[in-house]
Amino acid sequence: MIKVTRFLCAAFVMHAGAAFADDTAPDKVMYEDFSVQASLTGKAGDPVEGAKVFKDRGLGNCLACHQNADMSGDLFHGTVGPAVDGVADRWEPAQLRAIVSDAKQVFGEETVMPGFYSLKVGKDVAKDKAGKTILSAQQVEDVVAYLATLKE
Amino acid sequence: MRHSLAIVGLGMMMAALQMPLTAQADPVDDALVIDDLEMVTRTKAPEGHPFDEVRSGWLYREAETRELEADSFQNPGMLYVEQGADIWNRIEGPEGKSCASCHNDAAVTMKGVGANYPKWDADAKRPINVELQIDKCRVENMGLEAYKFDHAEQKALTTYIKNQALGEPVKLDLSQGELQSWWDRGKELYYTRTGQLNFACASCHEANSGQYIRADHLSQGQANGFPTYRLKQADMVSLHNRFRGCIRDTRAEFPKAFSDELMALEVYVTWRGTGLSVETPSVRQ
């Protein structure tokens, strides 16, 4: 068993450069009642890093779809999804973790929000992205920690 | 002085920020008139279409971009129309022929032609678009080679030929050959999610047309203005280049230009713009 886990972890690390051995693998994330209770890394998220993930076009690029009054210094907030202002009043951290990891688990198959920690993705994935999640487990935790600060 | 400037600066930034926040999801209510010819930029959708109204991408662009397209003296795409005219009249290849040797004055022989592509190519038993028709004439009638995809001359000639249909309503004849089954295939592709980001064409151009994705006001993703002059690239962009760009943005591998997949998409996407005027060369950001 230990061997198998090691092997899986090694394979996983090879594919997703930024993943660590203690991270929950994307297909092992437990979705219950639209929530993921356990941290994906066992470590607390860093809201400052999370804010970067939220803006960065190469990472979460959440701003492409969500308006965010907390980032009013940045231009061009998208309107595809709802504004995230006060999102922590509407959702528990465990629910936010589920939304960010795999929005389809919460909003259904039809949602256009990408699954940021899911390997159930579209066809013909670009070769350099194959087998990789959009965000690392820690980046998901960071962005969840950031969202948890958005209270009204 | 410094202080008040800073305040003005902040005010402008807020105003700029307000734009996508408060902008109505609707496209502008404006008329596009090019060389005294009014374009159809909104029209009732054909039967079986997901929208009630089919709309040109022109309606979703900023005022300056819209004006550039409306003024054919300023439209940078018109330079490519002129280049296309030169190529049309240029003798090339072992047969000593030009396009004009057989087709004479394009303003007469190619008038409206671009509005009805893709057509069915009975020889190749697949759909043919303007680019491939040009290649067909080069190879079969002039003893030349097909252009490499997106060769500057391919774009210029395509722009020139499409421009002869300026203002004509897009209309495909799906009863030609097996065009209908290619339409079916294209429709399936349009709703297939691709890439790590897991989007289908419909995720952006149907479910969210009218919304902003970052700075981009999402249109219905119509093909009626192609090839299109893109300000960002300062160049003409072909339809298959645009398709590939949109697919790449989902973080997917994209099919080859003129592949079966992209030809099927071209048939289907063009049909989604049925009734819109050909606007080539359109101007986009």
Nearest by CB: B212 against A72, A78, A129: A78
What's the pLDDT tens digit per position in B1-41?
A: 233 333 333 333 333 333 444 344 578 989 999 999 999 99
End-to-end CA distance of chain B: 35
- Answer yes or no: B99 catalytic: no
Asked if the structure places residue A152 within a domain, the reply is no
Tell me: pLDDT of A61 over 60: yes
Contacts of A63 in chain B (CB under 8 A): 214
Q: Does B196 touch chain A (CB under 8 A)?
A: yes
ipTM of the prediction? 0.88
Tell me: pLDDT of A31 over 90: yes
pLDDT at residue B25 in the model: 56
Band (A18; pLDDT cuts 50, 70, 90): low
Rounded distance, CA A94 to CA A141, Å? 10
Nearest by CB: B17 against A65, A75, A79: A75
Model pTM score:
0.92
Q: Which domain holds residue A41?
A: 2-147
Asked if the structure places residue A68 within a domain, the reply is yes
Asked if the structure places residue A83 within a domain, the reply is yes
Q: Does B62 touch chain A (CB under 8 A)?
A: no
pLDDT at residue A11 in the model: 41
Tell me: pLDDT of A4 over 50: no
To the nearest whole Å, the CA of A129 is away from the closest chain B CA by 7
Which whole number is the average pLDDT over A75-82? 96
Which whole number is the average pLDDT over A43-72? 97
CATH of residue A9: 1.10.760.10
Question: From the candidates B196, B216, B259, B262, which should be mutated to test the interface with A, based on the most A CB atoms within 10 A?
Answer: B196
Inter-residue contact B254 to A123 (CB < 8 Å): no
Buried b / exposed e over A50-74, threshold 16 CB at 10 Å, is: bbebbeeeebbbbbbbbbbeebeee
Total tally of structural domains belonging to chain A: 1
- Give the C-alpha distances (Å, rounded to integers) separating B240 from B113, B258, B266: 19, 7, 8
B253 secondary structure, DSSP code: -
Q: Do A64 and B196 touch (CB under 8 A)?
A: no
B42 secondary structure, DSSP code: E
B99, B201, B204, B246: the catalytic one is: B246
The low-confidence residues of chain B, meaning pLDDT below 50, are 1-24
Q: Does A77 touch chain B (CB under 8 A)?
A: yes
List of domains in chain B: 32-105+116-285 (1.10.760.10)
What is the residue-averaged pLDDT of chain A? 90
Beta-carbon pairs below 8 A across chains A and B: 95
Nearest by CB: B253 against A65, A114, A127: A127
